[in-house]
Structure 1
Amino acid sequence: MKIHDIAGFANPLRVRIALAEKGLLDQVEFVPVDVMGGEHRKPAFLAKNPSGTVPVLELDDGTFLSECTAITEYLDHAHGEKTLTGRTALERGIIHMLQRKVEAGFLNAVGAYFHHATDGLGPVLETYQNQDWGRHQREIALKTLVWMDGLLEEHDYLAGDQFTVVDITAMAGFAFASAAGIAIPDDLTRLTAWHQRVTARPSLARAV
């Protein structure tokens, strides 16, 4: 397998964590994409992913999979026990629901704030910015953090008692939040403890 991505970016981090959790890092060739140089917008890359986003998983048969959740779903179901996306129909439904809420309300919201209301990746790549939209998304991200703290009232992880793709998405969101200057509010103690617990997982160290 090949992963077309760029190290240090939030969405590639999601797939790298999933690979580490599944013990697959040594089975993947990482192909760097020069996002800062605009390689993701050129025809050769767009042939792999018309959306022009990283990461992209290239399988040995020539199939290309984009979108982090799709890649993680494939990895979890094709390799070993299903640990990240749920085993039963109910588990899969709950995990999918929570993952989408964390993705939209936190990761994507932080990303919108970063790209629209800060300097982001610089004027060459940030070709359109809407400051009001970015600031609005920051407020959504902060509200989502409060909701995430509530999820942890009775469980160690965001979707229950096991580390899942929901936690991976949240960790990528915090990587983005760090770059955007958004921190966990002091009163969200459960979320702070979760962050410390998840950051200590070996997969996080191997994925970065």
Structure 2
Amino acid sequence: MTIYEVENFPNPVRVRLALAEKNALDRVKFVPVDVMAGEHRSDSFRAINPDATVPCAELPDGSVIGRCTPITEYIDGAFEGTSLIGDTPLQRATTHMMNLRAEEGLLDAVGAYFHHATPGLGPDLETDQVPAWGLRQKARAQSTMRYFDGVLAKQPFVAGAVYSMADITLLAGLDFADLAGIEIDTDLTHLHAWREKVRARYQEN
């Protein structure tokens, strides 16, 4: 499998963390895409992924999977190890629900703030900015952080008792918030503690 990515960008990080959970990082080829130079918008890259986004995964048979959640679904089934999605219908449904809340309410909201209300990736890439929209999404991201603090006050991980794809998405969202200059309020003690616990998980690996 080949992963087209920009290393350390939030969504490619999600895929790398999923692969790390499956001890499969060394079984994948990573191909860098020069987003700053607009390579993702080129005809040659659009021929691989019409969405013009990273990451995307190209399989040995030539099939291409775009977007983090479908890629993670594939990784979860293709490699051995504890499921990141869940083993029962309820676990899978809960994981997807919480993953969407983390993705839409935090990671995507931070992205909107970053691209619309800050210089973002620079004037060549940040066209048609709407600063008011970005600021509204910053508030949404902060509200979502508070929501997840409440969730993590009651359970060890985002979707329940076990680590999942939803935790990966929340972690990536918080790291993106750091980059964008959105602070995590100090009173969100459960969220801070969870983040340190999850970071240690990858430092150990």
Q: TM-score, normalised by structure 1?
A: 0.96
Q: What are the residue-to-residue correspondences of 1:122-161 with 2, within 5 Å?
A: 122-161=122-161
| 1:135-174 deviation digits (Å, cap 9, x = unpaired) | 0000000000111011112211111121111110011111
Question: Tell me, what secondary structure is at the counterpart of 1:86?
Answer: coil
How many residue pairs end up in the alignment?
205
Larger CA deviation: 192-201 vs 79-88: 79-88
AA at the equivalent of 2:75: L
- The aligned counterpart of 2:58 is 58
AA at the equivalent of 1:130: V
AA at the equivalent of 2:185: P
Once the 2 structures are TM-superposed, how far is the Cα of residue 8 of structure 1 from its aligned partner?
1.3
Q: What are the residue-to-residue correspondences of 1:1-12 with 2, within 5 Å?
A: 1-12=1-12
AA at the equivalent of 1:15: V
- The aligned counterpart of 2:14 is 14
Once the 2 structures are TM-superposed, how far is the Cα of residue 82 of structure 1 from its aligned partner?
4.7
- The aligned counterpart of 2:68 is 68
Segments of 5+ residues of structure 1 without an aligned counterpart are none
Q: TM-score, normalised by structure 2?
A: 0.97
AA at the equivalent of 2:162: Q
AA at the equivalent of 1:48: I
Question: Tell me, what secondary structure is at the counterpart of 2:35?
Answer: coil
Q: What are the residue-to-residue correspondences of 1:40-55 with 2, within 5 Å?
A: 40-55=40-55
Asked whether the equivalents of residues 22 and 82 of structure 2 are also in contact (C-alpha less than 8 Å), the reply is: no
Asked whether the equivalents of residues 115 and 126 of structure 2 are also in contact (C-alpha less than 8 Å), the reply is: yes
RMSD: 1.1
Q: Percentage identity across aligned positions?
A: 51
Once the 2 structures are TM-superposed, how far is the Cα of residue 180 of structure 1 from its aligned partner?
0.7
AA at the equivalent of 1:142: Q
2:85 equivalent to 1:88: no
Question: Tell me, what secondary structure is at the counterpart of 2:123?
Answer: coil
AA at the equivalent of 1:24: A
Once the 2 structures are TM-superposed, how far is the Cα of residue 81 of structure 1 from its aligned partner?
3.9
- The aligned counterpart of 2:30 is 30
Asked whether the equivalents of residues 3 and 56 of structure 2 are also in contact (C-alpha less than 8 Å), the reply is: yes
Q: Structure 1 residues 199, 27: closer, same or farther in 2, change over 3 A? A: same
